């Protein structure tokens, strides 16, 4: 791997034969000498391959080594005389695995637009930008599992196909094997789902939370980390139809414990990437976001501001700011409001709590005022809401009442309600959108550029 040669000290290999394999970024040179920049995706940097044209004595092969071609190189690792790299390889022999026709290979020049790269998502991982994004994505996934594992949480796999449509987080994608040209119907004309694969209506999950709560009521601390799906027609730079979500759920946690965990978790993840992926971050900073490292360090170093929704509304009303959506107590906050609080008022991440019950889900714990629930949202610079969570209602009667008020069919959630009937306990949890965190950490502007193969309205290629 090229990373092993370019990361840290490899002086023990100096003067020895090495082999590298990868894709050619560029080939330049003259009659006497050729320089090939080779990249295998293990690290952002290329290794320089130097070919002495006369001794190599194979012009035909050299000509076929063009941008995008895949090659294997045997040669001597030496200190580089040129600037920009410590080591280079003097090639003895080269095998071409696959050529890339210069007339046709789409990644010829540098500096393609991100929009264009989305159209060639099958090749864009070969660019510096997507190499960096995908390596960070990997490191972040790993850090999430590491954090929870080190802190006594168990990874719970919640189902992707769900039979309940009251997860309450957005419009769902139907899962069916019914013949669309010949739909079975009941006498009243409605679709007869008893003939469908599962004998009932099923959808792709929008959240693993309800099942994660079942896990917390037995294993104490659990988390899910899996794909979730929303069939909302929101064509924004912050929404995907398929995205990954991290949802920890903890028995015996009240709202303050939940906030402490959310803050500690986010700071851990950002520090982890600052430590492990600094080369990739520096590249992204240079190319896309001059303030990236400053912002990341800022989140790690500052205490998040905590206040209630009610207090936040007061601040917004007093701000004198002209918002597109006017604010008053009871409205759901838009990202313009969230960003005002974070970027203009507090200048640090903010955790809002105690939202009006009418704009939050049925399972959130009701406060004594009977008007607000123990919800929490974590708001970040540039992103707005990055985490949504709450302390859950553990009281059977109160929860049943909320379910009734919100016209949810209790038969759909009988199993969920039973946790409140048998050995109920205070508990809390939250959901972190993985790609929202990726946006924050990479400084990229569009959520479609932080997932390998984005799914969005009218877009399911690759």
Q: Which residues of the shown chain bind ligand ATP in the complex (CB under 6 A)?
A: 169-170, 230, 239-240, 243, 245, 385-388, 431, 433, 435-436
Residue 368's Cβ-count burial label (10 Å; 0-12, 13-18, 19+) is exposed
- Least separation in angstroms between CB 431 and ligand ATP: 4
Q: Identify the residue whose tokens are 């939050």.
A: 360
- Least separation in angstroms between CB 288 and ligand ATP: 19
- Least separation in angstroms between CB 274 and ligand ATP: 21
Report the residue number, 45 or 239, with the smaller CB distance to ligand ATP.
Answer: 239
Cβ burial 44-63 (10 Å sphere, 16+ → b, else e): bbbbbbbbeeeebeeeeebe
Q: What's the angle, vertex CA 123, arms to CA 121 and CA 124, rounded to 5?
A: 65
Contact (CB, 8 A) for 206 and 244: no
Report the residue number, 34 or 375, with the smaller CB distance to ligand ATP.
Answer: 375
Report the residue number, 239 or 348, with the smaller CB distance to ligand ATP.
Answer: 239
CA atoms of 215 and 271, how far apart (whole Å): 29
User: Which residue has its beta carbon closest to ligand ATP?
Assistant: 433
Cβ burial 294-328 (10 Å sphere, 16+ → b, else e): ebbeebeeeebbbbebbebbeebeeeeeeeeeebe
Report the residue number, 167 or 196, with the smaller CB distance to ligand ATP.
Answer: 167
Question: What are the two backbone dihedrals, phi and then psi, of residue 302, each rounded to the nearest 5 degrees?
Answer: -105, 145
Token pair of 338 as six digits: 């969230």
Report the residue number, 27 or 239, with the smaller CB distance to ligand ATP.
Answer: 239
Report the residue number, 184 or 330, with the smaller CB distance to ligand ATP.
Answer: 330
Give the H or E element holding residue 412: none
Report the residue number, 433 or 443, with the smaller CB distance to ligand ATP.
Answer: 433
Report the residue number, 338 or 394, with the smaller CB distance to ligand ATP.
Answer: 338
- Least separation in angstroms between CB 217 and ligand ATP: 21
CA atoms of 147 and 273, how far apart (whole Å): 13
- Least separation in angstroms between CB 115 and ligand ATP: 19
- Least separation in angstroms between CB 236 and ligand ATP: 8
Residue 207, C-beta contacts closer than 8 angstroms, at least 6 positions apart: 167, 168, 169, 228, 245, 247, 431
- Least separation in angstroms between CB 228 and ligand ATP: 8
Token pair of 150 as six digits: 């080190």
- Least separation in angstroms between CB 172 and ligand ATP: 12
């Amino acid at each position: 791997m090229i990373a092993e040669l370019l990361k840290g000290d490899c002086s023990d290999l100096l003067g020895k034969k090495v082999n590298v394999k990868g894709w050619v970024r560029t080939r330049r040179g003259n009659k006497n000498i050729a320089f090939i920049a080779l990249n295998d995706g293990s690290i952002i940097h290329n290794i320089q391959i130097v070919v002495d044209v006369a001794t190599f004595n194979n012009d035909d092969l050299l000509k076929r080594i063009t941008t995008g071609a895949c090659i294997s190189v045997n040669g001597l690792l030496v200190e580089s005389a040129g600037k920009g790299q410590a080591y280079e390889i003097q090639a003895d022999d080269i095998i071409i695995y696959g050529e890339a026709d210069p007339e046709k290979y789409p990644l010829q020049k540098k500096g393609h637009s991100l929009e264009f790269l989305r159209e060639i998502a099958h090749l864009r991982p070969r660019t510096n930008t997507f190499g960096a994004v995908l390596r960070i994505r990997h490191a972040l996934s790993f850090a999430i599992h590491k954090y929870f594992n080190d802190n006594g949480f168990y990874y719970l796999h919640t189902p992707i196909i769900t039979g309940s449509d009251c997860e309450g987080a957005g419009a769902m994608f139907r899962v069916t094997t019914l013949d669309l040209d010949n739909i079975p119907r009941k006498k009243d004309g409605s679709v007869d789902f008893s003939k469908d694969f599962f004998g009932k209506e099923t959808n792709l999950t929008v959240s693993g939370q309800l099942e994660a709560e079942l896990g917390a009521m037995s294993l104490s601390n659990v988390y899910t980390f899996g794909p979730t799906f929303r069939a909302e027609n929101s064509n924004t730079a912050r929404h995907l139809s398929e995205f990954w979500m991290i949802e920890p759920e903890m028995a015996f946690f009240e709202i303050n414990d939940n906030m402490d965990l959310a803050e500690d978790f986010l700071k851990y993840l950002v520090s982890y990437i600052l430590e492990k992926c600094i080369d990739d971050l520096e590249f992204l900073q240079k190319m896309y976001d001059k303030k990236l490292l400053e912002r990341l360090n800022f989140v790690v170093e500052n205490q998040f501001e905590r206040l209630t929704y009610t207090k936040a509304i007061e601040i917004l009303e007093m701000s004198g700011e002209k918002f597109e959506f006017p604010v008053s107590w009871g409205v759901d906050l838009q990202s313009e409001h969230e960003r005002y609080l974070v970027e203009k008022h507090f200048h640090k991440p903010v955790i809002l709590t105690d939202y009006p019950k009418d704009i939050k889900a049925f399972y959130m714990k009701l406060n004594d005022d009977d008007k607000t629930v123990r919800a929490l949202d974590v708001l970040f610079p540039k992103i707005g809401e990055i985490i949504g969570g709450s302390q859950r209602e553990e009281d059977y009667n109160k929860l049943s009442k909320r379910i009734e008020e919100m016209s949810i069919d209790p038969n759909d959630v009988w199993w969920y309600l039973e946790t409140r009937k048998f050995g109920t306990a205070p508990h809390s949890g939250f959901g972190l959108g993985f790609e929202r965190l990726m946006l924050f950490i990479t400084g990229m502007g569009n959520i479609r550029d932080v997932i390998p193969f984005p799914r969005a309205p009218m877009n399911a290629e690759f």
